[in-house]
Structure 1
Amino acid sequence: MNRLPVEKRAQILQMLCEGSSMRSISRVADVSLNTVTKLLVDAGIACSAFHDATVRNVNSQRVQCDEIWSFAYPKAKNLPSAKAAPLGSGDVWTWTAIDADTKLILSWLVGDRDTHAATIFINDLKDRLANRVRLTTDGHRPYLTAISNAFGPDGIDYGILQKLYGKESEGAKRYSPPKLIGIDRDLVLGSPDIKHVSTSFVERQNLTMRMSMRRFTRLTNAFSKKVENHYHALSLYFVWYNFIKSHKSLKGLTPAMAAGLVSSPLEMSDIVALIDKREGEPKKRGPYKKRAISAA
């Protein structure tokens, strides 16, 4: 089995995390699109396992949760008329939980925007925390049920921030957001600090996701064609964001360093090493044998 050099694979993975499309990467790196796709899948599997094993027992004080929309193959409204749509096509929601102080992505989930997905997401978040936290979400109802069941009435300080929007003015553009006219903060469970009931950091992280992954860019043809590749791209992105990308607000540290999970930043070559470790040593090709072709 042939493998690209470590430097070449690290370059491709870095470009995937910096907003380049897969086809542009194949042109710049001078590799086939299938090579880029396979590397994305391999990296996604390795990064998912690494995040799951490493982001554990985190001492956190303030956590913010939110969901961000995208789609795979067609949008949900176009799914009935889509031809040969693969399983999982339609609207895709990515749930994220961020530590407001270290900017560490604690937990994430790809799925629907329903109570079932919220329950899985919040239970996973709870398993990664080492202490009681102050948690903030928006007013999406499934959060309330999931958080109440996971933490109980006395296991968390939970507040909701609900943004209030006015009606769109006449002549407003189709994609312009409505005007924000107010904010409601509700203290739901425990004793949350009203001044820390905020979703600003997780919403800013959602913007970083849209800027860093081409498949999240709105109004383009750069959407995910398969939900599996969407998941793999996110697996790679979150390890890059947590362990590789330095943040100015953290004085050059990565979120994982600020949270005490690692002592130094990782590099993309470390992700390549994770991939190779999971795959094992490359197997040597056997000798080429000519096949006899019988005359017709």
Structure 2
Amino acid sequence: MANVLPAERRLEVLAALVNGTSIRAAERMTGVHRDTIGRFARAIGEGCARLHDRMVRDLTCPLVDIDEQHSWCKVRQKQLDPAKHSAVEMGEQWTWAAICRTSKLVIAWHVGKRDQESADALVEDVRARLTVMPQITTDGLGLYAQPIAANFGRAVPYMQTVKNFSARPGKPGTSEKFAVERGVDFIQKRVVFGTPDPAKATNYAIERSNLTARQWNARLRRRTLAFSKKLSRHRAAIAMHYTYVNFCHIPRNMRITPAMAAGITDHVWSLQELMDAALEEPAGDKPEPQPLVIPKPEGAARALPAGRGWLRVVSGGHAPSAPAAPPPSGSSRPEPVPPAQQAAPVQPHAAQEPPTGQLDLLAWRPKPRKPVQLSLFDGLPDGSE
């Protein structure tokens, strides 16, 4: 007998994993050994990553949100011993993700440390999957500016939303640990590159995606025993979750999946279809960056040559006043005289010259008289001053 799970049992295991069940809980539910579940989950996750690389490319996402999410592998950061543990594969692991706000599609993700290398890897992957210049929104982390400028150019509309926290008294009757809680006082929006629209700068889509990831992926939950013990399985679990959300899940405020909204597929994928496609997906190449098209802005605009952008009409200045509407029929109100036929007011001290049809910018004008100062000593008898 081949050492392979039946298709029905594999589907049960996959359904348990994508709905937030840990490996040991899936073992109790399905009767499959935890080591077998771990190997199967890794195979599904790696196949989902290859499937994502092949299908999620050439996207037109007008609004892109980027954020990072904390997790850890094997041991916590404060328990990390360089002599016993690998600092790269253990300790804190951050899930960097980018989402299209309009379609709710997770464009790219990266698992690594919270450093410049991870930020560069994520932004480079996002750039390779887009064909239209987006408006990018991140939090106040300073690691994003350099890779965004290097991959999208400094003309990309990029804005940061910074949350300002403050300490405030906790609820009455709570313990000393929760006597003081932190809250968001206000959110500050800062323009980094380009001319983004502040009304469209927000991180609610990626933050809601992070919350869904913690709910549906047991490896990301805090204060549990379901954390990952190996980095390879942790990355596979992240890939399996995001691929399932993109192709199989319909968000609450939508009627189609994110992959359908982005034009990647035309139907809702079943769990069986996702499992078969992930296990059969061969190794392929990563997407390559394509030329970016700058979308036409709202309102009147004129394209610049060589696709360099657009000239927009900016509000301001004084537009010529529209001519008055004619009076209704039967009204005794006289018709207004057009501005061209109205007599121009005569300026004081203006030289009256016959009209020649051309204005003389060097025409002579009399200078105003200087005020005469009265002498208080005029008319004295001795003529002294």
Quick check: TM above 0.5? yes
Task: State the match for 1:195 in structure 2.
Answer: 199
**Closer, same or farther in 2 for the Cα pair 1:19/1:55, shift >3 Å?**
same
1: CA distance between counterparts of 2:84 and 2:225? 17
The secondary structure found in structure 1 opposite 2:80 is helix
> Structure 1 residue 250: deviation in Å?
1.3
Task: State the match for 2:160 in structure 1.
Answer: 160
Report whether the alignment pairs 1:254 with 2:257.
yes
**More displaced stretch, 99-108 vs 165-174:** 165-174
Report whether the alignment pairs 1:272 with 2:275.
yes
State whether residues 167 and 181 of structure 2, in contact with CA within 8 Å, keep that contact through their aligned partners in structure 1: no
Task: State the match for 2:21 in structure 1.
Answer: 20
CA root-mean-square deviation? 2.0
Alignment of 1:9-88 (within 5 A): 9-80=10-81, 88=89
2: CA distance between counterparts of 1:193 and 1:173? 41
The secondary structure found in structure 2 opposite 1:141 is coil
**Closer, same or farther in 2 for the Cα pair 1:184/1:278, shift >3 Å?**
closer
The superposition leaves residues 125-180 of structure 1 with CA deviations (integer Å, 9 ceiling, x where unpaired) of 011111011110001011011111111112x2111000000135477645986111
- Counterpart selection for 2:187 from 165, 169, 183: 183
State whether residues 243 and 266 of structure 1, in contact with CA within 8 Å, keep that contact through their aligned partners in structure 2: yes
> Structure 1 residue 81: deviation in Å?
8.0
The secondary structure found in structure 2 opposite 1:219 is coil
Task: State the match for 1:214 in structure 2.
Answer: 218
1: CA distance between counterparts of 2:262 and 2:246? 10
AA aligned opposite 1:19: G
Normalised to the residue count of structure 2, the TM-score between the two structures is: 0.68
Report whether the alignment pairs 1:223 with 2:227.
yes
2: CA distance between counterparts of 1:93 and 1:275? 24
2: CA distance between counterparts of 1:149 and 1:85? 31
Normalised to the residue count of structure 1, the TM-score between the two structures is: 0.88
> Structure 1 residue 247: deviation in Å?
1.4
> Structure 1 residue 10: deviation in Å?
1.7
1: CA distance between counterparts of 2:247 and 2:62? 20
Give unpaired runs (5+ residues) of structure 1.
Answer: 280-296
**Closer, same or farther in 2 for the Cα pair 1:276/1:102, shift >3 Å?**
closer
Task: State the match for 1:104 in structure 2.
Answer: 105
The secondary structure found in structure 1 opposite 2:247 is helix
AA aligned opposite 1:39: F
State whether residues 97 and 107 of structure 1, in contact with CA within 8 Å, keep that contact through their aligned partners in structure 2: yes
2: CA distance between counterparts of 1:129 and 1:180? 33
The secondary structure found in structure 2 opposite 1:147 is helix
Q: More helix per residue: 1 or 2?
A: 1
AA aligned opposite 1:198: T
2: CA distance between counterparts of 1:208 and 1:176? 27
**More displaced stretch, 9-18 vs 83-92:** 83-92
- Counterpart selection for 1:245 from 244, 249, 256: 249
2: CA distance between counterparts of 1:173 and 1:47? 42
Give unpaired runs (5+ residues) of structure 2.
Answer: 283-385
Bigger Cα Rg: 2
2: CA distance between counterparts of 1:86 and 1:194? 39
2: CA distance between counterparts of 1:53 and 1:5? 27
The secondary structure found in structure 1 opposite 2:81 is helix
AA aligned opposite 2:104: K
2: CA distance between counterparts of 1:175 and 1:138? 28
% identity of equivalent residues: 31
